[in-house]
Structure 1
């Protein structure tokens, strides 16, 4: 049986400064699948969400994040198609659901709370968060789409000012997360142990820390339902905390091996009985 794979590019508005890199990883995966004899096609998220689709899709490689494309993706999945990533997994990476998902996974993350931007700051919701020790205030729906979507605050007054700014911009919820101190490490993975890379901003990471980070990230990706994923962690000594988790990043620093791993995962999923 010959398979058909459909790739869906991420919306430009959800890909600030990374439109080309996001497209490049998807194109690379499709090229790997084409070498395996799979018929491939690619389209933009707007057309996909509008229902302008080929007759059949066996697997959808979806980088889209908007409401209508995700609705269309869920419908196609219900029809029997495999998805990397699924509509539910992508939605789980919206920050309002991500926090609970990481908590369920039991992975190390800084304490934080989701708050309404247009309401008075409720100290009960911030139990365990020390505003005076420094926090990051992040938009509570999507990942950061601009520089002002994640802001640092060192006291309650600054938090309230940032929340008011979010409210004026139409952002209804925000995530207030305790600052973690240490080295920033970006990590990238493909589920089922297909691939993992941890890339620090400075010197190398101890192997034990990489293994622990890989285990935690794999548990988190499973809890969120992700196949292609990445994120950020803060490493201090041999301890780390995951501060962000994303569906299908650009993998720009590891594009070649990541594309091959995603393609292998796609082939494995296609081979499963459905």
Structure 2
């Protein structure tokens, strides 16, 4: 028997239908493989302190993540792990990717209460992305583009007013924005140019513009993403990278269990296969 936990609607900005579809298709694939699947909404799972030996989940709420971590400490298997989900919050993710030499933009982490001028100027970036550090992006304002240091500072001040304790500032990279989805322990890896498919959460893709489709090694990208998933402790992942004209790439975002919207029919059986493989390892 496996326990499935859906994502709360507020953690699916502009992707509510997509998130629930990939979840439901995965549950169907597990059922087809012979598993008895019990599904809970995220709030009910925590409020009723539901326990399960094998859990697959898309949770994001801090209370749900803590509950899954508690169950894992008691011996449950969770895909994705509650510890991995927490690692994908922006500040932690940035630190872990940089510490493990995963290709990543030049970045600084700032407390919103401090004066970031020195750190920002030291980056010597042409432009900046300022991102909420304490959590995943939920609101349009959680990720903002800044053309210079003074705009970046204004955004950081605004975060402070909103009660956000820290921010991650990435250098703006010039190149093709490429979205990717992967599933560990399977051969599944999908990438596409979001600008060309009009696939967007907050409409920020327009800043990089239409893709030039610079050639790059998909195999190397998959390797880097699998490695990122490994160090973050996330099996089912997605994210974004920017490919430079010379074919090098840097991962600018990495998420635990995204919507897989453009490839969900191919992805769901692979996600179920990954969950099955993790269960087999515990037997």
Could you state the TM-score of these two structures normalised by the residue count of structure 2? 0.89
Q: 1:43 aligns with which of 30, 40, 45?
A: 40
CA-CA distance at 1:16 after TM superposition = 1.0
The reply on whether 1:254 has 2:263 as its aligned counterpart is yes
Matched, 1:75 2:70: yes
- Report the CA distance shift for 1:206/1:119 in structure 2 as closer, same or farther (over 3 A): closer
Which of 147-156 and 214-223 deviates more? Answer: 147-156
Deviation at 1:105, TM superposition (A): 2.7
Pairwise CA distance, 1:122: 5.0
Give a deviation string over 1:141-168, Cα, whole Å, max 9, x none: 2222122111111222111111111111
Q: Is the 8 A contact 1:104 1:223 kept in 2?
A: no
In the alignment, does 2:127 pair up with 1:118? no
Cα displacement string for residues 101-150 of structure 1 (whole angstroms, at most 9, x for unaligned residues): 11133121110111011222251x4475125x100111112222122111
The correspondence for 1:243, drawn from 252, 260, 264, is 252
Among 147, 155, 159, the alignment partner of 2:152 is 159
Paired residues for 1:1-274 under 5 Å: 4-53=1-50, 57-121=52-116, 123=118, 125-126=119-120, 128-131=122-125, 133-201=126-194, 202=196, 208-237=216-245, 238-274=247-283
Report which stretch shifted further, 65-74 or 217-226.
65-74
Contact 2:55 2:76 in 1 (8 A): yes
Q: Which region of structure 1 is more displaced relative to structure 2, 228-237 or 76-85?
A: 76-85
4+ runs deviating over 6 angstroms: none
| Unmatched runs of 5 consecutive residues or more in structure 1 | none
Determine the C-alpha separation between the residues in 1 that align with 2:149 and 2:62.
33
Query: Deviations along 1:181-222, whole A, 9 cap, x unmatched?
Result: 111100000012431111124479677521111111111000
Instruction: Indicate conservation of the 8 Å contact 2:87/2:232, yes or no.
Output: yes
Output the aligned Cα RMSD: 1.8
C-alpha spacing 1:259/1:206, structure 2 compared with 1 (3 Å): farther
Q: Give the secondary structure class of the aligned counterpart of 1:136.
A: strand
Given that 1:49 and 1:70 are in contact with CA atoms closer than 8 Å, whether structure 2 keeps it comes out as no
Question: Contact 1:34 / 1:40 at 8 angstroms: preserved in 2?
Answer: yes
Contact 2:113 2:160 in 1 (8 A): yes
SS for the counterpart of 1:46 is helix
TM-score normalised by structure 1 residue count: 0.92
The 3-state SS of whatever aligns with 1:272 is: helix
5+ long unaligned stretches in structure 2: 197-210
Residue 204 of structure 2 aligns with which residue?
Answer: none
